Each structure stands twice: as structure tokens, then as C-alpha cells.
Structure 1
Amino acid sequence: MSLSTWLAFFAASWAISFSPGSGAVSAMSAGLRYGFRRGYWNTVGLIAGILLQILVVGVGLGALLATSEIAFAIVKWLGVAYLIYLGIKQMRADTSPVDPDAPATDGRISTLVLRGFLVNASNPKGTVFLLAVVPQFIAGGQPLLPQYAAIAATLAFTDLVAMAIYTALAARVLRLLRSRRHIRWLNRGFGGLFIAAGAWLATFRHHA
């Protein structure tokens, strides 16, 4: 991969990372509920999910997902169900004011990481998108592993920055919340965003 090709992908990665979607909603939801330091662990899971999708594309399974109606439908509806589940759970979350500097009594780090991972890993739309975008930056006459490694590292970096900003913005809102009523409406809002993301994924059509 030439420097000019990598720079083009680097620029594209910022647009990919900052684009609104279930990952951004997940990051903001974690920041709102747990503050930045704990909520940012959700991003570790999101990155792991992205890396898995790049691996799937790299070994050719992405092509199977793009051409197989059954494989696509299975992953798609699992993703839809998970996002709706997260939405309902967010709507029913505790409305007690949270001190972002206090030790968390719930929201284990492993749970936050797993949640982020499942949000991205169960999204076939992301896999199909990467399948369409990534090959444009791959030089066929050069070893593939270093090129995919560079792409994965680049996208992981831009996602770390983008999700940090989303998480920090939500955590800043958390510091201002002292009313159960406000927290309840924010929980409902983020729950609605998760459900909307699930509904949007449900409308995503398979294209062979």
C-alpha cells in the first residue's frame, strides 16, 4: 500500500468513524450512564467488533455474507434483536442521579466491552460496507496481510478518537444531571435511538 493510498483511506476512515450509527449511540449511552473513564471501555468492544469485521472481509467470509441470503439474514436479524434489546434495557435503566467520579456498582468492564463488541460484530451492514470499501485500497500485487493490518490499525485509531469524543460529550451531560425526570427522558431518548438503529438495520436489503 502506497503512502498516497493510505492517506486516502485515512481520510475516509474519519468519515466512517464519525458517521452516526449504532456504535456512536452505544458510546454515548455508555458515557451517559457510567461517565468517561468507565464508559470508554465500551469502545474497546466496538473496536474489537470492527477488527472482527475486517478479518471476515480479509479471509473472504464477507463475500459469503454479501452473496448468501441465509447468512445475511441470520446475522442481520440477530443484530436487529440485539439493538432492540439494548433499547428496551436503556429505557428501563435506573433514573437515580449518577456520580461519574464514584466507583461504579454495576456496569462491569467485561460487560461494557462485550456489549460494544456485539453491537458491531452483529451488524452485517458494516461488513458489507467494508467489503465494498476496503478492496479499493488494496494493491493486488502486494502482500495482503500488511495492507489489511494497516487498514485495521487506521480504522481502529480513528474509531478510538471518534468514540472518545462521543463518550466524553455524553459524560459531560452526565455531570449536569441531578433530576430523575431528566435522566428518565434521556434514557428513553437513547433507548429510542437503539431501537431506531435496529429498525434501520431491519430495512437494509441484501444485494447479491
Structure 2
Amino acid sequence: MEFTIWISFVGAALILAFTPGPSVLLATANSMNYGVKKTVGTILGDLSANLCQIVLASAGLASIVIASGELFQLIKWLGVAYLIYMGVQKIIHRPKNQKMKSTVRTRTFFSMYSEGFLMSAANPKAIVFFAALFPLFIDPALPFVPQVAILAVTFLSIDGLSLLIYSRFAERLKSYLENNEKVYLQNKIVGALLIFSGLMLSLVRRSNN
């Protein structure tokens, strides 16, 4: 892969990764409630889902999802339901100082990882997104797999870095949000944004419709 092509991909990946989306909202909310160390599980879950989506997209599943209206609709509505569920959970949860401390101790790495994985995997457009983005930076004259591997590692590294930066910034804001009412307001805002993301996802239509 030529260096200039890789640099172009890095620029595109930076813009996409640092644009706030559902995964960023979840990571920042978890960082405020549980700290950056706990949120690493959420970030790893998100990156694992992205890796699976990249592999599936590279294997040609994107064309199947696009071709099968029933499959696309099933994945889409599962994603919509999960995003709205997460949003409602954030809205109705009223934090209390004592309970937050015990929650931090009982929240396992697996639960944080699963939450991040499901949040990212809930978006059916991701497979199509990777299938559309990667070919723009792949030279057909060169071996396919090594190029996909380079692009995947690059994207996942940038995406992980952006989530860590957002999480670190959010944790620093925690000292200003110790007031339960302020934390509750923050959770309601995040919840509303997650529900909005789910509603926007529900409007997605197949390109061949």
C-alpha cells in the first residue's frame, strides 16, 4: 500500500472516528459513572464489534445484506430497539452517590464489554459502511488481505484513541457533576441522544429500494 493512500485513509478515519456517535455517547457516559479504567471494557467491546463488521464486510456479507430486504430490516430494527432501550435506561436511572460506588464494584468487565459490543454491533449500516469505505483505498493490483489488514488496524487504532480521549475528557468533568441532579440531567441528555440515534437509524432504507 502506498504511503500517500494510507495517509488519505488516516485523514478520513480521523474525521469519522472523532465525529460523536452512539459509541462515543456510551463511552463518555460510562466514564463519568465508572471511570476510564472501567470504560476500557466498553471501548474494547466497540472495537471488537467493528473488527467483526470489517471481516464480514470484506467477506462480501455487505452485498447479501443489501440484497436481502428481510435480513437488512431484521438487523436494522434490532439495532433500533437496542439503541432506544439504552436511551430509556439512561433517562430513567437516577444516580445516588452511595449506590454509584457499589455499582462501580459490581459492574464487571464482561458487562461493560458486552454493552460496548452490542452498541456498535446494533448498527447494520456499519457493514455496508466498511464495505464502501475500504475499497476506495485498496489497490486491486496488490494483494487484498494485507491491505485490508492495514486499513483495519489503522481504523481500529484511531477509533480506540478517539474513544479514550472522549472518555478521559468526560472523567475530568466528573468532578463538576458530583451533584446528583446534574448527573441525572446528563444521563437524560445522553439517553435522549441515544433514542434520537435509534430513530434516525429507523429511517435508513436500502439503496436498491
TM range (shorter): over 0.9
2:97 matched to 1:97? yes
Q: How far did 1:107 drift?
A: 2.3
3-state SS, counterpart of residue 106 of structure 2: coil
Change (3 A) 1:103 1:76: closer
* Residue type at the aligned position of 1:67: A
Aligned residue number for residue 59 of structure 2: 59
Aligned residue number for residue 186 of structure 2: 186
Aligned residue number for residue 141 of structure 1: 141
* Residue type at the aligned position of 2:170: A
Contact 2:31-2:171 within 8 A present in 1 as well: yes
3-state SS, counterpart of residue 131 of structure 1: helix
Aligned residue number for residue 9 of structure 2: 9
Change (3 A) 1:131 1:98: farther
Aligned residue number for residue 20 of structure 1: 20
> TM-score w.r.t. structure 1 length?
0.93
* Residue type at the aligned position of 1:199: L
Q: How far did 1:166 drift?
A: 1.3
* Residue type at the aligned position of 1:78: L
Identical columns (%): 29
Cα deviations by residue, 1:74-107 (Å, 9 ceiling, x for unpaired) = 1111111111111111122241137999992232
Q: How far did 1:131 drift?
A: 1.7
Unaligned runs of 5+ in 2: none
Give the CA RMSD over aligned residues: 2.0
Contact 1:67-1:207 within 8 A present in 2 as well: no
> TM-score w.r.t. structure 2 length?
0.92
3-state SS, counterpart of residue 47 of structure 1: helix
Q: How far did 1:184 drift?
A: 1.3
1:51-130 superposed matches below 5 A:
51-97=51-97, 104-130=104-130
Change (3 A) 1:104 1:147: same
